[in-house]
């Protein structure tokens, strides 16, 4: 299992903070189009969930991308774990790939109407798909989320994504609770050369789930919060982030399997 959303890029930064006004699609639904792609070389330390006796970290390469085209808004990434094939990695002998895609359809663009109200700038039909990245080679939890999304204007943060989903477990073919997700990107210090430092992150919180999954007990609620501090230029970024977990992925924290705690990440990025 893997994170819900990865570290936000400069591309998504522009998407999240470029405007605090409603998006106008009245004359051309493609006038707001953009796209971005980057590669992140990362190292994770004590990422959860994990066995207490597992090795403590792993390297990985992430291809991250996103953009808009007409009615569609897209964010996604593909992770390849343990590039060095290290026996000291906590991914040694485990699945090497995880994929996430989060397409949203703008209801403003579909209807041709301004659906903004109050601090809500735009509304979406929102989806989210996770594939792979299981804790063992024979366990690949594939999940989907379906619901309503929005971009909202929040004091100091600016434009923030906020989505509410119902959770459908593709592996079990069953609906199982809900998830609320938010993400942000806030540049807060600009250097003389135009590069800047940003506070970026997300919260994913699941709730209302059943007490078991495929015969195994699970938590009814849980989640994760990522907090990152990154320096950005036009072509590069480097930074550090940490995650706070509580029964993440609805896995109950026990002596045999840890799902509550903190993990640390470092990243170096090249932007195309």
* 5 located within any domain: no
Buried b (16+ CB within 10 A) or exposed e, 79-100: bebbeeeeeebbbeebbbebbb
The stretch 233-256 carries a mean pLDDT of 92
* 221 located within any domain: yes
* 95 located within any domain: yes
| Mean of the per-residue pLDDT values of the chain | 87
CATH assignment of the domain containing 78: 2.40.230.20
* 207 located within any domain: yes
Task: Give yes or no for residue 156 having a pLDDT over 70.
Answer: yes
Q: What is the pLDDT of residue 12?
A: 44
Backbone angles phi, psi at 25, to 5 degrees: -115, 15
What pTM was estimated for this model as a whole?
A: 0.87
What proportion of the chain, given as a percentage, has pLDDT over 90?
A: 64
The beta strand positions in the chain, using DSSP E, are 34-45, 57-69, 72-81, 97-106, 120-132, 143-154, 158-169, 174-190, 196-207, 212-213, 216-217, 222-232, 236-246, 261-271
Task: Give yes or no for residue 155 having a pLDDT over 90.
Answer: yes
Angle at CA 34, nearest 5°, toward 29 and 36? 155
Burial (CB count <10 Å: 0-12, 13-18, 19+), residue 40: buried
* 199 located within any domain: yes
The stretch 156-180 carries a mean pLDDT of 93
pLDDT digits (tens, 9 = 90+) for 70-83: 999 999 999 999 99
In the chain, the number of structural domains is 1
Q: What is the pLDDT of residue 134?
A: 58
Task: Give yes or no for residue 6 having a pLDDT over 50.
Answer: no
* 102 located within any domain: yes
Q: pLDDT tier at 17 (50, 70, 90 boundaries)?
A: very low
**Structural domain boundaries, residue 263:** 10-271
Distance CA 112, CA 257 (A): 50
Q: For 166-233, give the DSSP string.
A: EEEETTTTEEEEEEEEEEEEEEEEE-TTS-EEEEEEEEEEEES--SEETTEE--S-EEEEEEEEEEE-
pLDDT digits (tens, 9 = 90+) for 170-221: 888 889 999 999 999 999 999 999 999 999 999 999 999 987 766 667 889 9
Task: Give yes or no for residue 9 having a pLDDT over 80.
Answer: no
- Neighbouring-strand partners of residue 144: 129, 168
* 2 located within any domain: no
* 36 located within any domain: yes
């Amino acid at each position: 299992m893997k994170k819900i959303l990865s570290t936000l890029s400069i591309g998504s930064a522009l998407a999240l903070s470029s405007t605090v006004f409603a998006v106008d699609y009245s004359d051309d639904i493609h006038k707001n189009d953009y796209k971005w792609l980057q590669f992140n070389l990362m190292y994770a330390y004590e990422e959860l969930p994990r066995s207490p006796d597992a090795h403590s970290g792993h390297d990985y390469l992430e291809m991250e991308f996103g953009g808009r085209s007409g009615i569609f808004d897209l964010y996604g990434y593909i992770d390849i774990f343990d590039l060095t094939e290290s026996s000291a990695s906590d991914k040694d002998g485990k699945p090497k790939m995880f994929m996430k895609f989060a397409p949203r359809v703008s209801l403003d663009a579909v209807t041709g109407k301004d659906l903004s109200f109050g601090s809500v700038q735009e509304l979406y039909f929102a989806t989210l798909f996770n594939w792979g990245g299981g804790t063992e080679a024979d366990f690949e939890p594939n999940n989907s989320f379906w619901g309503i999304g929005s971009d909202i204007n929040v004091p100091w943060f600016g434009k923030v994504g906020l989505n509410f989903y119902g959770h459908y477990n593709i592996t079990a073919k069953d609906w199982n609770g809900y998830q609320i997700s938010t993400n942000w990107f806030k540049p807060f210090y600009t250097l003389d050369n135009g590069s800047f430092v940003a506070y970026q992150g997300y919260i994913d919180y699941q709730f209302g789930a059943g007490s078991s999954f495929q015969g195994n007990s699970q938590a009814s609620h849980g989640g994760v919060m990522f907090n990152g501090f990154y320096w950005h230029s036009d072509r590069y970024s480097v930074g550090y982030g940490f995650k706070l977990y509580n029964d993440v992925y609805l896995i109950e924290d026990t002596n045999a399997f840890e799902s509550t705690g903190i993990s640390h990440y470092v990243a170096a990025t090249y932007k195309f």
